[in-house]
Amino acid sequence: MKILVTGGTGYIGSHTVVELQQKGYQVVVIDNLSNSNEAVLDNISKITGIRPDFECFDLIERERTLDFFSRNSDITGVIHFAAFKAVGESVAEPLKYYRNNLVSLMNILEGMQLNKVPFLVFSSSCTVYGQPEELPVSETSPIQKAFSPYGNTKQISEEIIGDFLETSDVKCIALRYFNPIGAHESSLIGELPLGIPNNLVPFITQTAIGLRSQLKVFGNDYNTPDGTPIRDYIHVVDLAKAHVIAIERMTNGNNKKALEVFNLGTGNGQTVLEVIKSFEKVSGEKLNYVIVERRAGDVEKVWADTRFANAELGWKAAMSLDEMTLSAWNWEKAIANK
Ligand code: NAD
Ligand code: UFG
């Protein structure tokens, strides 16, 4: 079975390509390398023995995208990761985010429709819940006004898909990720943030390796046990495996609605200081950090109710916080040694 993975040289996409190949799927990747590089394909092939087919172009180019689908009519499913994801940048450059994330999605949907590609897995985010009133947050919790244009692209994307499915035979599973961290156990693929990382774990590992002088912890006056915000951190390989299960669910005809939505988290919330403590424990490094003001736009606490995903997908995140921070550290050391 042939699966198109858009954004397949990116962080979550590359780990998903590995899981798909290891389950016997043939994979073709489209990526414009705007936030990744082609060497990732070589590293995937070092893990799996297979270099995925690759086409480098921008999915906002409608003709190129439709041409791709017409040349690849044997595709069974699409896993659509390709998007811009930096929250702060989306505030500064909203049109860049709306154009990239929404136009590429519409081109993909059109290509699927024209070429009768039946199954789509879409990368959504727990950002659609904002600060939930009840925790853990379940898939039926209300969608809140988006905190950023990036978050809004995920909300609008889910709506576009919902409307599109009313008029089409395509089936879709939208996966709302909580906070993916960590790297593949081989340390051959992982997260490669360009420039200064926005996210906590890459900032921790880059500080420990000496690329950054100090981690800033954004606020310790939240209503949480140690005052720092709570997130549901999930290992990227656990997340990747859920995509394969989502494809299997649809190809086996087990999906119950045209559009199904699942939370992908562990169900546990951890504070920023707990993540730092875990990192210090597994790495043996003392982290240089300082508490500073809150970061604008951060929610206080969010973690997933995973019961629906656990029951319906037969999937459960397996890796502990220590395994996540250790794999992130091993990856940081591996790239530093290159
Ligand atoms: P990433 O930036 O590592 O990967 C995205 C890939 O898509 C990159 O390789 C980039 O070059 C490519 N891309 C972007 N726009 C493209 C376009 N127009 N045409 C072709 N290729 C394009 O990001 P990631 O962390 O792997 O995220 C994957 C998906 O998951 C995104 O949709 C993101 O919004 C979503 N998501 C990520 C997180 C997270 O914390 N990492 C959380 C929730 C949701
Ligand atoms: N944090 C720090 N210092 C840093 C970076 C982060 O203290 O240098 C804190 C943040 O304040 C937050 C926690 O670490 O409390 C996690 O922050 P991240 O930036 O790693 O993750 P977010 O929860 O803010 O956002 C992530 C993705 C978004 C996505 C969201 C929900 O970056 O794209 O998860 O899926 F929308």
Does residue 289 sit within a domain? yes
For 173-222, write each residue's pLDDT tens digit: 999 999 999 999 999 999 998 889 999 999 999 999 999 999 999 999 99
Cα–Cα dist 6/101, whole Å: 12
**Residue 337: pLDDT above 90?**
no
Does residue 212 sit within a domain? yes
Question: Separation of 207 CA from ligand 1 center, angstroms?
Answer: 24
% of the chain beyond a pLDDT of 70: 100
Choosing from 264, 285, 310, the residue where a domain stops is: 264
111-137 residues labelled b (16+ CB within 10 A) or e (exposed): bbeebebbbbbbbbbbbbbbebeebbb
**Residue 338: pLDDT above 80?**
no
Residues 92 and 211 placed together within one structural domain of the fold: no
Q: Which atom of ligand 2 is nearest to the CA of 148?
A: 36
Cβ of 79 below 6 Å from ligand 1: no
CATH code of the domain covering residue 274: 3.90.25.10
Cβ of 199 below 6 Å from ligand 2: yes
Model's pTM, two decimal places? Answer: 0.98
197: left (phi > 0), else alpha (psi -120 to 50), else beta? beta
CATH code of the domain covering residue 174: 3.40.50.720
Residues 140 and 220 placed together within one structural domain of the fold: no
Residues 274 and 164 placed together within one structural domain of the fold: no
Residues 26 and 143 placed together within one structural domain of the fold: yes
Residues 329 and 216 placed together within one structural domain of the fold: yes
Torsions phi, psi of 34, nearest 5?
-70, -25
Domain of 125, in residue numbers:
2-182+232-264
Residues 210 and 161 placed together within one structural domain of the fold: no
Does residue 308 sit within a domain? no
pLDDT in the model for residue 193: 82
Does residue 210 sit within a domain? yes
Domain tally for the chain?
2
Residues 287 and 171 placed together within one structural domain of the fold: no
Cβ of 77 below 6 Å from ligand 2: no
Catalytic residues: 150
Residues 66 and 122 placed together within one structural domain of the fold: yes
Q: Which atom of ligand 1 is nearest to the CA of 13?
A: 26
Residues 162 and 139 placed together within one structural domain of the fold: yes
